[in-house]
């Protein structure tokens, strides 16, 4: 995961690995990334054997920009369980970004505009 962050160091002011644990076939990683525009990405990615739960919460000034996650809701979406909340918890959209590398690509492309 760290290479996905370091790839874009020109857009990142700072990042901190808050938690990293490995126990058997389970992993837990929590990272906070501060971008040069003042926005922040809160990364939570967990694996339990073959199961994975993630949430990538991008915000600025306390306001939600986008949160990507795979909570098993929104079964009507073609990308189920992968989805994103855009600018509001209620604005649910399909998501093709399922990992930190894809989320970082999306954010950097947005910052480049």
Count the Cβ atoms, other than its own, within 10 Å of residue 54: 19
Q: What is the pLDDT of residue 110?
A: 95
Q: What is the dihedral of CA 18, 63, 80, 17, to 10 degrees?
A: -10
Q: Distances in Å between the alpha carbon of 109 and those of 49, 70, 89, 106, 112?
A: 33, 22, 23, 5, 5
Tens-digit pLDDT profile for residues 69-85? 999 999 999 999 999 99
Count the Cβ atoms, other than its own, within 10 Å of residue 78: 7
Residue 22, preceding peptide bond in cis (omega within 30° of 0): no
Q: What is the pLDDT of residue 5?
A: 85
Mean pLDDT of the chain: 95
Tens-digit pLDDT profile for residues 24-81? 999 999 999 999 999 999 999 999 999 999 999 999 999 999 999 999 999 999 999 9
Q: What is the pLDDT of residue 75?
A: 92
For residues 108 and 90, give the distance between their C-alpha atoms in angstroms, rounded to a whole number. 24
């Amino acid at each position: 995961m760290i290479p996905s962050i370091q790839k874009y160091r020109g857009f990142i002011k700072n990042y901190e690995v808050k938690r990293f644990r490995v126990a058997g076939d389970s992993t837990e990683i929590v990272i906070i990334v501060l971008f040069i525009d003042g926005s922040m990405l809160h990364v939570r990615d967990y694996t339990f054997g073959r199961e994975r739960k993630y949430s990538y919460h991008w915000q600025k000034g306390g306001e939600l920009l986008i949160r990507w996650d795979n909570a098993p809701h929104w079964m009507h979406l073609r990308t189920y369980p992968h989805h994103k909340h855009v600018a509001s918890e209620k604005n649910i959209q399909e998501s093709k970004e399922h990992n930190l590398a894809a989320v970082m690509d999306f954010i950097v492309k947005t910052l480049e505009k």
